[in-house]
Structure 1
Amino acid sequence: MSPRQSGTERQPRPIRAGFSFLRSGCATACNLRGRLAYLLTMTRLIRPLTAALMLGLAVPAVPAHAEARVPRDRAEIGLGFAPVVKEVAPAVVSIYARRIIATRQSPFMDDPFFREFFGDIGQMRPQVQNSLGSGVILSGDGIVVTNYHVIGAATDIRVVLKDRREFGARVILGDEESDLAVLKLDVPEELPHLALRDSDRVEVGELVLAIGNPFGVGQTVSSGIISGLARSGVLTGQVRGYFLQTDAPINPGNSGGALVDVNGALIGINTSILSRSGGSNGIGFAIPSNLVGQFVEQARAGNERFERPWAGMTGQPVEADMAASLGLSVPGGVLVSDLHAESPFAGAGLQVGDVVTHVDGQPVDSPSEMLFRMSVAGVGASAHVAYMREGREQVADVAMIRPPETPEADERRLPRDSALPGLALARVNPALIARLDLPLSTQGVIVTEPGPYGARAGLRTGDVIARVNGAPVETSAAAARALEARGRWMVMDVLRRGQPLQLRFRL
């Protein structure tokens, strides 16, 4: 086996090979002609070597925020990531969160029926849960971004800086669905912080660093590349959205930490991994910085919850077997399958059967990508939408709006003397459709909370009450009056996710 194939022996480096040739030249230069040939050969070799050395010495003079590129020679590779880490690491923090959960000794207390009849029996036993994560300082006055699952329901949050200073923190904006939270530290001085980079300009193959506190061992830096863009879907729990994928090792405790480029700019917040063992397998996901920036903007504006624009539409990805029939040369985009009458897309002229291909110049291939692009644009803005209709490309400016609250929801809770005490009802409107994730065609009176008696009768949140004892109900007031009637039996016709069913129970 040759040395190159075995991997145990290495071929001489090009520079070493050159000097080996010079030594053999000295041995054979026994006459004037030989000496002149040797000197000419040496001159040809030394000139490029001198130029290469000069180029290597000039590398540190490149501006810190120059365009990202692959290192050109060993001198650049030898620099490593140390300068970037020194600049970035002070802005990455460790977060310690504590939450207290009350539990009962009696297992029957998990049933709403037993809680209603037997009251507060069973000794409450508080349990303390601790969680560890990471965070990123994004402004000198103490704005920190982390994952929601790191601090969700926490009663005490402590933030520890790289220099071991500790600060208490309060949550000023959190969103479980996006798995992002914004914290505020009360600090007496300017803190080191990171700048956000436009995540739409990130490319597959870019070198990146992941910084956080995995397993509580202390701040750790790992390196990798961007492995993929536009990763969407459900990853863990309620988290949905659009992610950057990286092979930089991410482990428990890295959640909420920084994913930065080679210039030290933040391009994402590390969130989760795909793993069967719980350790890193080289498939990690980060929330793009553009969405992080929108979160910080809403937090500074005083929003109590994160607001997403309402599309008022449902859609599906265009697969290969659908593309030709829709007039597309290649599969891609989102097929509009349903539109609410109040949808801003309908107001801009889109119809069922159109294929949305771009939002604000960026391609979209799934509903999650569309929601991400709309969320980045923000409520109150206007998004430039490109779509295909019968093989022709068209464009429209779509207003990014909140879900309308018309007709009035008229939410009410039934009193104790009604047939189902504690049952909460409301009239369906776009705001409720968005809040409860209902089909766009939902109309009528909806159950917003079944209460203990309603749960025992078989009702669930999101059920639409169509009839009570055969009488149709169209408003929450009419449903409340119908449920005040007392008799021996009650029959309710209900729609659950569009499927009809009948509930019959004895009073």
Structure 2
Amino acid sequence: MKKNIKFFVLALMVSFLSIGVYKIFFEAPPLISESYQVPWQQDSMNPTAQLTSALEEKSELNFTEAAERTVNAVVHVKNVATTRQPRSLFDYYYGSGETQKAIRGAGSGVILSPDGLIVTNNHVIKGASELQVTLNNNKTYVAEVIGTSSQNDIALLKIDATNLDYLPFGDSDQIKVGEWVLAVGNPFNLTSTVTAGIVSAKARDLSGSDDQFQSFIQTDAAVNPGNSGGALVNTRGELIGINTAITSQTGSFVGYSFAIPSNNAKKIVEDLIEFGNVRKAVLGIRGTDLSSETAKQLEIEISQGFYIDGVDPKGGAYKAGLKKGDIIKSIDDIKIRKFADMTGYLSSKNPGETVTITYLRNNNERESKVTLDIFKVYQIEDIGLEVSEISEDQLQKYGASSGVVISKVLPNSFTKNDITGVLITKINDKEVYTIEDVKSIIKNKNPEEPMLVTFLTPKGQEKTYVFR
């Protein structure tokens, strides 16, 4: 009996052992509904996680879709000069003869509408007798100039075509430093060239002058002669800038390129279509960038922002309660670190729009809504000067009771010197207080008579010149 029990126990153990071996070696392991891995070991231990990560990275850096969306909407713009080659002495004297065309320069452009509206740089088309636009499919059209802004380096063209691929403007305020971008254009007459880089900086000012449009997107995407006027797009194929300039001693790309932000370009294009010129919106303030040095001089604690040194009593900022000594920190939640940040954002706004200003006063943060004014200017073509109005407190600094200030020296100016900041107090012995005064005097002047202009420098030196 004991012997039988031993055999039974032994058989039972063998059975359990057999079942265990079968379970381990022949039956599929059970599914586990939840699992946990140490985060820094997950990629090295899980091949699937490695593959997923690699695919995500590859997808993020895949520019093919953005390039495909862009290349057909970027055109080759050729600046053509037309001349006549005399075949005889008669042709020479009477300006006849054989017509010859030569390419003076070339650049790029971006199609903005299916019916052929194109934006490019003004310096690409400057001085052209004829403009030829070649699409990515090699079709060539003669372009008409709709409008230009030399100060902003933007030109608007139109070709007679339909059903064209085009790029709508994106929101350049949303781009971030470090974001991938593509530059699409025609460098060195190489059509449909795509280069990649990142956004290196925003609101980059190259001029050092407050009266010029300077708020570029800086990138390290390769841009060379011929890229001017082409598209800067993000990885979604959205137009975020118009490639405009490079900084180089050789004239070719060395690592830095600059683009006009799309929000600014869009506003310029809309102004050229609606008004024929660009309307500038202003807060009605004067001031300076903050730095550690100026912060120390002003005895304030922060070193970034825009310090208000004066407020126009007729301007929107004055009506909103801003004062001298206030420090602007942001506009519509756009951080203001320096003057270029502010001018760049305001250049995308229209006169009459309202913006929200966040500023510091006595180290206390405040907020005000400011209605933007229009920056009034007038160009005196006869002497090649642009003038704007000036506030009463600024006039007092000159020791003058009247005057308009020279805001820009035009290419056809009577002087090659930079005389911006000089006042014009009288024209033909009549005092001028506003732009309308200047317009009225010049309009009613006899074209045969000379024009007398009285200038007053910031140092109080007054001189009258006669222009015939």
TM-score by length of 2: 0.70
2:456 aligned residue:
495
Q: 1:24-45: CA deviations, max 9, x gaps?
A: xxxxxxxx9xxx9xxx9xxx99
Alignment CA distance shift 1:47-1:283 (3 Å): closer
2:197 aligned residue:
224
2:157 aligned residue:
183
Shift of 1:81: 2.6
1:136 aligned residue:
110
Question: Do 2:279 and 2:375's aligned partners in 1 also have CA atoms closer than 8 Å?
Answer: no
2:223 aligned residue:
250
Alignment CA distance shift 1:235-1:254 (3 Å): farther
Shift of 1:239: 5.7
Give unpaired runs (5+ residues) of structure 2: 1-20, 30-41, 85-92, 447-451
1:86 to 24, 47, 68: 68
Question: Do 1:176 and 1:239's aligned partners in 2 also have CA atoms closer than 8 Å?
Answer: no
Alignment CA distance shift 1:98-1:327 (3 Å): same
Q: 1:137-196: CA deviations, max 9, x gaps?
A: 122222211111111343321111100112222222321122122222221x21111233
Within 5 Å, give how 1:127-276 maps onto structure 2. Answer: 130-187=104-161, 189-234=162-207, 240-276=213-249
1:298 aligned residue:
271
Q: 1:45-67: CA deviations, max 9, x gaps?
A: 999446655x489x5xxxxxxxx
Alignment CA distance shift 1:100-1:362 (3 Å): farther
2:369 corresponds to which letter in structure 1? D
320-329 vs 122-131, which moves further: 122-131
1:318 aligned residue:
290
For 1:101 and 1:366, the matched residues in 2 are separated by 48
For 2:236 and 2:385, the matched residues in 1 are separated by 54
TM-score by length of 1: 0.65
2:370 aligned residue:
398
Question: Do 1:473 and 1:479's aligned partners in 2 also have CA atoms closer than 8 Å?
Answer: no
For 2:462 and 2:94, the matched residues in 1 are separated by 39
For 1:205 and 1:296, the matched residues in 2 are separated by 28
2:402 to 444, 449, 460: 444
Question: Do 1:465 and 1:495's aligned partners in 2 also have CA atoms closer than 8 Å?
Answer: yes
Instruction: Give the paired residue count.
Output: 397
Alignment CA distance shift 1:133-1:423 (3 Å): closer
For 1:266 and 1:283, the matched residues in 2 are separated by 19
Shift of 1:382: 0.7
Question: Do 1:425 and 1:445's aligned partners in 2 also have CA atoms closer than 8 Å?
Answer: no
Question: Do 1:259 and 1:267's aligned partners in 2 also have CA atoms closer than 8 Å?
Answer: yes
Shift of 1:287: 1.0
Question: Do 1:87 and 1:264's aligned partners in 2 also have CA atoms closer than 8 Å?
Answer: yes
Report the 3-state secondary structure (helix = DSSP H, G, I; strand = E; otherwise coil) of the residue aligned with 2:215: strand
For 1:56 and 1:174, the matched residues in 2 are separated by 48
Alignment CA distance shift 1:423-1:296 (3 Å): closer
Alignment CA distance shift 1:323-1:94 (3 Å): same
Shift of 1:312: 3.0
1:349 aligned residue:
321
Q: 1:325-368: CA deviations, max 9, x gaps?
A: 65754311111122223222112111122111211111123333
- Seq. identity, %: 30
Question: Do 2:424 and 2:456's aligned partners in 1 also have CA atoms closer than 8 Å?
Answer: yes
Whose radius of gyration is greater, 1 or 2? 2
For 2:185 and 2:424, the matched residues in 1 are separated by 50
243-252 vs 361-370, which moves further: 361-370
Q: 1:254-307: CA deviations, max 9, x gaps?
A: 00111111121111111111111111111111111111222233344x220011
Question: Do 2:184 and 2:231's aligned partners in 1 also have CA atoms closer than 8 Å?
Answer: yes
Alignment CA distance shift 1:148-1:439 (3 Å): farther
Report the 3-state secondary structure (helix = DSSP H, G, I; strand = E; otherwise coil) of the residue aligned with 1:270: strand
For 2:242 and 2:396, the matched residues in 1 are separated by 32
For 2:367 and 2:43, the matched residues in 1 are separated by 61
Report the 3-state secondary structure (helix = DSSP H, G, I; strand = E; otherwise coil) of the residue aligned with 1:233: coil
2:6 aligned residue:
none
Alignment CA distance shift 1:287-1:464 (3 Å): closer
Shift of 1:495: 0.8
Report the 3-state secondary structure (helix = DSSP H, G, I; strand = E; otherwise coil) of the residue aligned with 2:191: coil
Alignment CA distance shift 1:195-1:337 (3 Å): same
Alignment CA distance shift 1:169-1:472 (3 Å): closer
Q: 1:61-116: CA deviations, max 9, x gaps?
A: xxxxxxxxxx53xx548x843333222211111111235799xxxxxxxxxxxxxx
For 1:256 and 1:467, the matched residues in 2 are separated by 42
The two structures, once aligned, show a CA RMSD in angstroms of 4.7
Report the 3-state secondary structure (helix = DSSP H, G, I; strand = E; otherwise coil) of the residue aligned with 1:139: coil
Shift of 1:309: 0.8
Alignment CA distance shift 1:128-1:354 (3 Å): farther
Shift of 1:235: 8.2
1:383 aligned residue:
355
Shift of 1:504: 9.2
Shift of 1:381: 0.9
1:402 corresponds to which letter in structure 2? I
